[in-house]
Amino acid sequence: MSAGSRVTPAPPAKRKAVTLSSLAEKKALGEPIVMVTAYDYPSAQVAEEAGVDLVLVGDSGAMTVLGYPSTVPVSLEEMLMLSAAARRGLSTPLLVGDLPFGSYEASDEQAIATAQRFVKDAGCDAVKLERGGVCAARAKAIVDAGIPVMGHVGLTPQTATALGGYRSQGRTAERAMQVLEDALALQEAGCFAIVFEAVPSEFTELVMPLIEVPVIGIGAGPATDGQVLVFHDLLGIYDGHAARFVKRYGDVRQAMIEGVEAFAREVRERRYPEPEHGYTMAPDEVARLRGLVSRLAADRAHA
Ligand code: KIV
């Protein structure tokens, strides 16, 4: 084909923005829902281009991008900054902001005020909170204030110490019933979706018929309505401990190290920059500049 007869490619089909009802519809149709975490503009852009349904600015960002030892220390202001950056990289997926530990548990008023900041200041479409019990009451208060809430049960990292560490939950019938009660309380509170984290696949399969809203699993087996993984885990960027449920779909950290090593090597060997990486000046301007610089050097020598 000659250059003259080249046909202009059609622009990529614009995807429809994901909504609460399109998620409910996916559940009804049995279409798997995809969620990933993102914590900044480039990771959100990657999630957008990959066509995921939901992006969670998870408090896992405390560990993956802020370097804290757990999710507990991350502040509300830090989560808002990460969420606002992710917002700027997204237009299609639903954006969910994770309420950090200590920002919603104390009272309904605190929970509503925090959730409102995620929506007003960071542009989130919804928020996520962990646990049933009193947190289900907080979820209801936020939902009643007009903000969609995603619940999170099973392994809830904000209270991992109380759960005996980062370990799977609901492995006895009694403990499994407690996880189910949490999920049902969050559903009753009006949550539009619930994350099941690190629970036995048999548990998920048994309780799915009782959950009317989309269930997004992470280490919860294949019976959920969707799956979520942490961006840095699935792409192999984070070098900390990886849970059993993590599958690596890339080795981006190694690729980044190799890229920076190559840059360092070329700088040290004076192979970078090459002429095409620089800017040029017209020869007459170079000549004029040479005169001006010599005059300045001479003036300084005599000063
Ligand atoms: O913070 C997070 O990334 C999460 C997901 C693992 C669901 O809560």
- Going by C-alpha positions, the residue among 86, 48, 49, 87 that lies closest to residue 64 is 86
Every domain of the chain and the residues it spans: 20-255
| Sign of the torsion angle spanned by Cα atoms 243, 151, 98, 110 | negative
Q: How many C-alpha atoms does 109 have within 13 Å on its Cβ side?
A: 0
Provide CB contacts within 8 A for 144, sequence distance 6+.
190
d(CA 189, CA 139): 6
Provide CB contacts within 8 A for 196, sequence distance 6+.
153, 154, 179, 183, 204, 215, 216, 217, 218, 220, 224
- Going by C-alpha positions, the residue among 133, 150, 168 that lies closest to residue 244 is 168
Percent of the chain exceeding pLDDT 70 equals 96
pLDDT at 132: 96
Q: What is the mean pLDDT of residues 110-137?
A: 98
pLDDT at 263: 98
The string of pLDDT tens digits covering residues 30-78 is 999 999 999 999 999 999 999 999 999 999 999 999 999 999 999 999 9
Active site residue 197: yes
SS3 34: strand
pLDDT at 241: 83
d(CA 23, CA 15): 14
- Going by C-alpha positions, the residue among 64, 65, 58, 131 that lies closest to residue 96 is 58
- Going by C-alpha positions, the residue among 66, 71, 67, 122 that lies closest to residue 97 is 122
The string of pLDDT tens digits covering residues 229-247 is 999 999 999 888 889 999 9
Nearest CA to ligand 1 atom 8: 58
Tokens in use for 275? 């002429």
pLDDT of 255 strictly over 90: yes
User: What is the DSSP secondary structure assignment for residue 146, as one 8-state letter?
Assistant: T
Q: How far does the centroid of ligand 1 lie from the alpha carbon of residue 82, in Å?
A: 14
pLDDT at 51: 97
Give 123: exposed, middle or buried? Use CB within 10 Å, 0-12, 13-18, 19+. middle
pLDDT at 1: 45
pLDDT at 14: 79
The preferred substitution site among 33, 36, 37 for testing ligand 1, maximizing ligand atoms within 8 Å of CB, is 37
Considering 105, 181, 197, 274, which one is annotated as catalytic? 197
pLDDT at 238: 85
pLDDT at 12: 63
Q: How far does the centroid of ligand 1 lie from the alpha carbon of residue 256, in Å?
A: 24
Q: Using a 6 Å cutoff on CB, does residue 98 contact ligand 1?
A: yes
User: What is the DSSP secondary structure assignment for residue 223, as one 8-state letter?
Assistant: T
pLDDT of 6 strictly over 90: no
The string of pLDDT tens digits covering residues 148-193 is 999 999 999 999 988 988 899 999 999 999 999 999 999 999 999 9
The string of pLDDT tens digits covering residues 74-109 is 999 999 999 999 999 999 999 999 999 999 999 999
pLDDT at 284: 98
pLDDT at 57: 98
Q: What is the mean pLDDT of residues 124-130?
A: 98
**Quick check: 66 and 78 in contact, CB under 8 A?**
yes
Fold of 20-255: TIM Barrel (3.20.20)
- Which is the closest atom of ligand 1 to the Cα of 130? 8
Residue type, 226: G
